[in-house]
Structure formats: C-alpha cells, structure tokens
Amino acid sequence: MTDDPRMENRDGREEMVRTQIVSRGISDEGVLAAMRKVPRELLVRTEDYRCAFYDGPLSIGCGQTISQPYIVAYMTELLGLGSGDRVLEIGTGSGYQTAILAELAAAVFTVEIIPELSERARGALAAMGYSNIEFRTGDGRDGWPEEAPFDAIIVTAAPEYMPPAMKEQLADGGRLVIPVGSSAQYIHRIVRRGDDFEDDGLIAVRFVPLTGGAIE
C-alpha cells in the first residue's frame, strides 16, 4: 500500500458512508466496508483532494468524472457480489469503482476507452496493492468476450440501447447493472436465468454516453 499521508483520512470516509450512503438506504455490509476502506482521496486529482468526499461527481480530467459516492455504492449493492465472483467493469475511469469491486470479488476485468485514464488507474491501483484486476484499453461496448462468462457486469456510461454483448457475456444467474437511455436515463438491473433475462428499471441518473467515452 502507498505511504501517502492522505491514506489517513479515514474520518472523512466514515462520514461519507454515514451521511451519504447509509442515510440513503444502502445496507450491504460488504459494500459499506469497501466504501470505508478504499481511499477515494487518492483517486481524485491532487487539486481536488479536499473535495474527495463531496456528495456529487468530480472531474478526473479528459472530460470525465468520478461518480457520486452514493451512485457507486448503489450500483455495487445491486450487483450482489460474492467473494468468488468474476466481474466485468466497462469504464475504469479513476479506478475508484474498480477498487470497490476488487474488495468484494475474486477478479475484476476492467475496460477503459481513454488510454490516459486507463494507465493512471492501473498505476494507482497497483500502488494500493490490488492484484486481482486485469486492465484493457478499448471500446467497452463489446465487453471482454474471451474472459466471459461473468458473474456480474457493471457499466458506468450510458448506451442509448442495451448492448447485446452485455447480456450475452453474463453467466447463468449473473447480474448486469447499467444506465440506459439518452435524454432520459435509468439504471437497469438485469439477471440472467438461462435464456431469459429479468429486467428491472430503477432510478433516474445522468451518465455520459457510452459511445463518447466511459466514466467511473
């Protein structure tokens, strides 16, 4: 793990979890523990360090953002991760969501379309000691077929329509959490049951388009 003194900002993380996440109904103990542990303050820009726990998105450069802490927790809880799960993430971004997933799952495969962000996240997460993450730079709309099927898939940029590859690469019983839409977007949780897919449209959100680059 890094010796950066900002790692000591545990009180800020605890307050973030208490006031922004627990207060809004997130109750999965694994998710809450991961949100308390992962140093969000190390994954924002240096100039934004003091705003790391802000209740909203922050710029990470390249026209992209690190998502609001609550949205990260909400989407992660919907995945229902187990310690043996293999997870595909579309949109590495800062690497914050990636680290949360890595705390909960056996292996994380993450795809980012912007090379600068991918390399930055790779370096930051390696410095934090994560060894269960595989990185790829490229268009995430096709998923990661050679590593499929996945127990869970999370997409952190919004396609106008559901990409077929996302459903196809789910294992039986696998969960997909994805924002879908253009002018109006909703997070969907999709569960695969053999050749059938249960699709629940949930809360309204606002993400950048998947075709325009992925965010975290």
Q: Which domain holds residue 63?
A: 5-212
Q: Is 118 a catalytic residue?
A: no
pLDDT band, very low/low/confident/very high, at 149 (cuts 50, 70, 90): very high
pLDDT band, very low/low/confident/very high, at 211 (cuts 50, 70, 90): low
Cα angle, residue 117 at apex, residues 175 and 215 outer, rounded to 5°: 40
Give the pLDDT confidence score for residue 34 in this predicted structure: 98
Token duo for residue 36 = 């308390």
Residue of 30 and 203 predicted with greater confidence = 30
What is the average per-residue pLDDT within 146-170? 93
> Residues 27, 59, 67, 183: which is the catalytic one?
67
Segment of 100-104, 186-190, 209-213 carrying the highest mean pLDDT: 100-104
CA–CA distances in Å: residue 121 to residues 44, 99, 111, 134: 10, 10, 11, 11
Per-chain mean pLDDT for the chain: 91
Residue of 4 and 152 predicted with greater confidence = 152
CA–CA distances in Å: residue 84 to residues 51, 108, 142, 151, 167: 34, 11, 24, 9, 20
**Number of independent structural domains in the chain:** 1
CB 55 within 8 A of CB 71: no
CATH code (residue 178): 3.40.50.150
Percentage of residues in the chain having pLDDT higher than 70: 94
CB 2 within 8 A of CB 42: yes
The C-alpha atoms of residue 4 and residue 17 are separated, in whole angstroms, by 22
pTM of the model: 0.91
Which candidate, 74, 75, 9, 65, places its Cα nearest to that of 37? 9
Please determine, for residue 175, whether its predicted confidence score (pLDDT) is greater than 50.
Answer: yes
